[in-house]
Every structure is written in C-alpha cells, then in structure tokens.
Chain A
Amino acid sequence: QVQLVQSGAEVKKPGASVKVSCKASGYTLSRYHIHWVRQAPGQGLEWMGIINPSDGGTGYAQQFQGRVTMTRDTSASTVYLDLRSLRSGDTAVYYCARVEFQSFHLWGQGTLVTVSS
C-alpha cells in the first residue's frame, strides 16, 4: 500500500526544536519530491518547503528560512522536518505530502506539534 506514515505527536517548550519524520512505503522514496505543509488550529494550509529525496536538494518558504531543515535517509525511506526556536505560533499539525502532476496526491496522516511552556 502506497502511503506516507508520520511520527507521533510532540509537545515542546518555547525555544526548543522538533524533528518530525515521514516514512514512505509502497514506492521508492527518491522518485517523488516531498513537501511539508502545516496547519495551525482552525487555520488554513501553509506551505513550508520541499525536499528532493533523490539528491537531498531543498527549498524553503521565506518565512521559515534559517529555522527549518529538511533532510532524508533513503535507506530508511524517510524524510525529516527539523524546526528550531519554536514559539507558540508554531503549534500546528504538520503534514508531509508527495507531489505528482504538480499536485499533492498523497498526504501523511499529520503530526500535531504543540508548543507550550
């Protein structure tokens, strides 16, 4: 079964970092770009950036530059999102999604990250 399976919910304190994983199964990770999208409670979708699992190339949304890193481990068929200097506004559900035909056809189940003191 083709799917993206994300790691579990996290609770972090302000200023901390979080690392969310997204494991691909049922297909070869390197064949498709993976994007990260987040959604704050009651809010819309916000694009964070892209990773090309084939070569590790990345591109980040301007508002996250300097605070986010996306990496991959092809041997584990997994991509990672690392977000640093967390603040309350980073409380959100974080999704990984696979691009095909310039559209997100496959999404992970989402990972809730809560930032609270």
Chain B
Amino acid sequence: SYEVTQAPSVSVSPGQTASITCSGEKLGGRYVSWYQQKPGQSPVVVIYQDTNRPSGIPERFSGSTSGNTATLTIRGTQAMDEADYYCQAWDSSNVVFGGGTKLTVL
C-alpha cells in the first residue's frame, strides 16, 4: 500500500522559516494537502492541491512539490504556529496521511 513519510519533529526559532517535508513515491504526481492540528482540536487544512491556501490561512504558509517530496514552508514562523502538521495524499480512491511532524517554535 502507498505510504508517505514525515520527520517526527522540526524546531524553528520565532521569525525564521520552517520547512516540513513529506516523501512518497511519485508524490509530485498526486495532489498533496497539509493540515495543522493543535492539542485538543480538529485538524485544519492550511494547503490543498499542493500549493493552494484556503481563505483565512496566513500568507506565511506555502506549499510546493517536486519529484517524490512535498514541502510545507512557514515563513516568519510565529509561536501560534506550534502544532502537529500532517501531509495527505490520494492513492487511487484511498486517502493516505503522513505520520505527522511536531513543529516546535523556540
């Protein structure tokens, strides 16, 4: 079955750029979404169809894909961005989530 892989944790200093990656075979040929989840809350989509940002999501969030890797980039990271981030892709009609990356802002 198809799998996508994320690093368990990423740390970033406030104001710096955070990059969270998601790897999977031919991932660049599939639409990737990214979700932010804070403790006790439901996930929120921050990027969909690789690069699109829903209304209400700050411009500091951006997405890109290349080859087997999708990247979520957060520029000017703020303390409020500390959360778990999940990538999600489609394998035919099935949905696949990455294991999640805990972003720590310190």
Whether A47 and B42, one on each chain, are in contact in the complex, defined by CB atoms closer than 8 angstroms, is: no
- A105 touching B86 in the complex, CB below 8 Å, given contacts A44-B99, A47-B95: no
Contact segment of A21-29, A71-79, A106-114: A106-114
B interface secondary structure, majority: strand
Q: Count of B residues near A, CB < 8 Å?
A: 25
Contact pick for B100, options A45, A104, A109, CB 8 Å? A45
Contact pick for A95, options B42, B93, B96, B98, CB 8 Å? B42
A interface secondary structure, majority: strand
Contact pick for A108, options B37, B42, B95, B99, CB 8 Å? B42
Whether B42 and A110, one on each chain, are in contact in the complex, defined by CB atoms closer than 8 angstroms, is: yes
Give A8-47 as 1s and 0s: 1 = Cβ < 8 Å from B's Cβ atoms. 0000000000000000000000000001010000001111
CA distance A50 to B43 in the complex (A): 18
- A105 touching B54 in the complex, CB below 8 Å, given contacts A44-B99, A47-B97: yes
Contact pick for A105, options B45, B96, B100, CB 8 Å? B45
Whether A59 and B49, one on each chain, are in contact in the complex, defined by CB atoms closer than 8 angstroms, is: no
CA distance A103 to B30 in the complex (A): 12
The number of residue pairs between A and B whose CB atoms lie closer than 8 Å in the complex comes to: 57
Whether B33 and A47, one on each chain, are in contact in the complex, defined by CB atoms closer than 8 angstroms, is: no
Whether B97 and A104, one on each chain, are in contact in the complex, defined by CB atoms closer than 8 angstroms, is: no
Contact pick for A103, options B49, B94, B98, B99, CB 8 Å? B49
Contact pick for A101, options B44, B49, B95, CB 8 Å? B49
Whether A44 and B100, one on each chain, are in contact in the complex, defined by CB atoms closer than 8 angstroms, is: yes
Whether B33 and A44, one on each chain, are in contact in the complex, defined by CB atoms closer than 8 angstroms, is: no
User: Which residues in B have their C-beta under 8 angstroms from that of A101?
Assistant: 48-49, 52
Q: Output the residue of B44, B45, B95, B98 with the most chain A CB within 10 A.
A: B95
Closest to A48 in B: B95
Contact pick for A35, options B1, B52, B95, B99, CB 8 Å? B95
Whether B94 and A45, one on each chain, are in contact in the complex, defined by CB atoms closer than 8 angstroms, is: no
**Measuring CB to CB, which residues of chain A are less than 8 angstroms from any residue of chain B?**
35, 37, 44-47, 50, 59, 61-62, 95, 101-105, 107-110
